[in-house]
Amino acid sequence: MGEVFTVIFSLAGILALILALLYASKWLNRKTSISSAQNLRIVERANLSTDKMLLLVEICGKYIVVGVAPSGINTLCELSEEEIARLQFPNKGNGNNQFLNILTQKFRMNKFASSGSVDEDE
């Protein structure tokens, strides 16, 4: 009977040690984290495939669309004040597709501007 208590107390001690180490590692991670950016915030993310995505990033009050792929990270465009005003952010209401709609319009405008022809139907 004494051996059973010894085994139970040993297991409880090991479990307590594991929990203490887990707590200590989380505490240290918070203290040494590099991701304490105060002027950078990912506002919204749109996954295009398993390894490609678009990010709407706020940097010092400016909104920038960034493309992320295995080949690298590229700045795609900066949103104007008018486009930012039309955005509906997820924490302020239902804006799930608003980011993609504005991005699509932005790329259509850039495409037509570079080709020199604008379709009146769009």
User: Phi and psi (nearest 5°) for 75?
Assistant: -80, 125
Alpha-carbon distance of 39 to 90, in angstroms, equals: 19
- pTM of the predicted model, to two decimals? 0.48
Q: How confident is the prediction along the chain (122 residues), in pLDDT tens digits per residue?
A: 778 889 999 999 999 999 999 998 888 877 665 555 677 888 888 888 889 999 988 888 888 999 999 999 999 988 888 887 777 665 544 445 566 677 777 766 665 555 444 343 43
Q: How far apart are CA 120 and CA 35, in angstroms?
A: 46
